[in-house]
């Protein structure tokens, strides 16, 4: 199945059933030329597995780090990426878009 | 996401029931919609998300909610387990569509030719009666054989199928419309049939024809040109 249509929640749930620690990141809002629409998801495991995407690859690394953090703390986070945001410069949202990403552990 | 919500969400999706996962932002409390105790505003917003097949954030009574719409996959019913179907079916699966192949000719409709896909060997009218095409279903006839294509198109026209396509030249299609007219279908209704099927990209090979058909399907699904 293709990356665009892959059922990321299904993949995350299957990893969870297999005993992995899994966090899920979901695009909740976009402005401007964000490459992935709201609802796009990225699943990350402590063991290093990744599926799906929340951008064209610009912020996946930063989101994956926060995903691991939510697994440690058990507390979800709402992240803001945009060109006015220092963090966005850091991770390089070259498209000039702006988006919010909700990151949660699969408990 | 709590194990309870994940389990309930998974069960509803397995049952092909449309459902919305609502997340209160920024805190992250979650619930599934529609729900009797969620209030009209939230339930209606959830229904809109499902109708538009679009996830997004809404503000209701000063609270932001992210609504993730989980609709069942779009269905594609392919009538005719022919060569073009062998190209079309895996491409449709790659697009995330739920594909069923119908062909009563058992030499065509084999699992070897169509691995990992539901293959029915019923007559197309019976198969469509059972599959009940809805507004998220496409019906595509590929056999060229009126005995097989016509009953499928007859049933498709009587259904809510949002995309109906019939393979065949303009001449073949004109004769097909004459036969369907005799079955009682009016010209307005028959205008729903895409014939010749597919976008005109001068496709020649079976995979190229499959691309042209699926491109037309996507254009219809995404309302291309109507926005």
Which of B25, B70, B95 is facing A5, going by the closest CB pair?
B95
Q: What is the full per-residue pLDDT of chain B (227 aa) written as tens digits?
A: 999 999 999 999 999 999 999 999 999 999 999 999 999 999 999 999 999 989 999 999 999 999 999 999 999 999 999 999 999 999 999 999 999 999 999 999 888 999 989 999 999 999 999 999 999 999 999 999 999 999 999 999 999 999 999 999 999 999 999 999 999 999 999 999 999 999 999 999 999 999 999 999 999 998 876 64
Contacts of B54 in chain A (CB under 8 A): 37-39
CB contact set of B84 (below 8 Å; sequence gap of 6+): B142, B167, B206, B209, B210
DSSP bridge pairs for B27:
none
CB contact set of B115 (below 8 Å; sequence gap of 6+): none
Domain at B100, CATH number: 3.40.50.720
DSSP 8-state code for residue B43: H
Interface contact flag, A5 B96, Cβ < 8 Å: yes
Domain end call among B11, B45, B70 = B70
Interface contact flag, B23 A24, Cβ < 8 Å: no
The shortest C-alpha distance from B24 to chain A (Å) reads 10
B227 in any annotated domain: no
Q: Structurally, how many domains does chain B consist of?
A: 2
What is the per-residue pLDDT for B227? 46
Q: Structurally, how many domains does chain A consist of?
A: 1
Identify the burial level of B223 via C-beta atoms within 10 angstroms of its C-beta, where 0-12 means exposed, 13-18 middle and 19 or more buried.
exposed
Note whether B123 and B206 are same-domain residues: yes
Q: What ipTM was estimated for this complex?
A: 0.83
How is the beta sheet containing A22-31 ordered, strand by strand?
A50-52, A41-45, A22-31, A98-105, A77-81
Task: State the residue range of the domain holding B127.
Answer: 75-221
């Amino acid at each position: 199945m293709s990356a665009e249509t892959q059922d990321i929640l299904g993949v995350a749930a299957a990893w969870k059933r297999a005993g992995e620690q899994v966090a899920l990141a979901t695009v909740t809002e976009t402005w401007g030329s964000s490459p992935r629409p709201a609802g796009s998801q990225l699943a990350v495991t402590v063991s290093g597995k990744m599926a799906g995407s929340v951008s064209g690859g610009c912020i996946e690394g930063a989101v994956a780090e926060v995903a691991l953090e939510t697994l440690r703390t058990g507390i979800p986070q709402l992240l803001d990426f945009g060109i006015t945001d220092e963090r966005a410069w850091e991770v390089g949202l070259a498209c000039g878009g702006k988006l919010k990403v909700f990151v949660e552990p699969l408990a | 996401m709590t194990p309870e919500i994940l389990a309930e969400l998974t069960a509803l999706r397995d049952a092909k029931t449309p459902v919305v996962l609502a997340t209160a932002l920024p805190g992250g409390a979650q619930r599934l919609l529609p729900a009797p105790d969620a209030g009209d505003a939230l339930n209606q917003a959830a229904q809109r998300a499902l109708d538009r097949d679009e996830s997004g954030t809404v503000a209701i009574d000063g609270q932001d909610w992210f609504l993730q719409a989980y609709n069942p996959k779009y269905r594609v019913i392919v009538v005719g387990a022919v060569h073009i179907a062998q190209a079309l079916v895996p491409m449709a699966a790659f697009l995330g569509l739920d594909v069923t192949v119908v062909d009563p000719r058992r030499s065509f409709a084999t699992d070897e030719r169509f691995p990992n896909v539901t293959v029915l060997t019923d007559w197309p009218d019976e198969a469509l009666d059972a599959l009940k095409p809805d507004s998220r279903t496409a019906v595509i006839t590929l056999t060229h054989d009126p005995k097989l294509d016509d009953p499928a198109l007859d049933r498709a026209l009587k259904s809510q199928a949002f995309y109906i396509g019939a393979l065949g030249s303009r001449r073949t299609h004109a004769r097909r419309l004459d036969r369907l007219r005799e079955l009682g279908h009016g010209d307005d209704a028959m205008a729903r049939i895409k014939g010749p099927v597919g976008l005109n990209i001068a496709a020649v090979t079976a995979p190229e024809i499959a691309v042209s058909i699926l491109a037309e399907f996507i254009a219809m699904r995404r309302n291309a040109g109507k926005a």
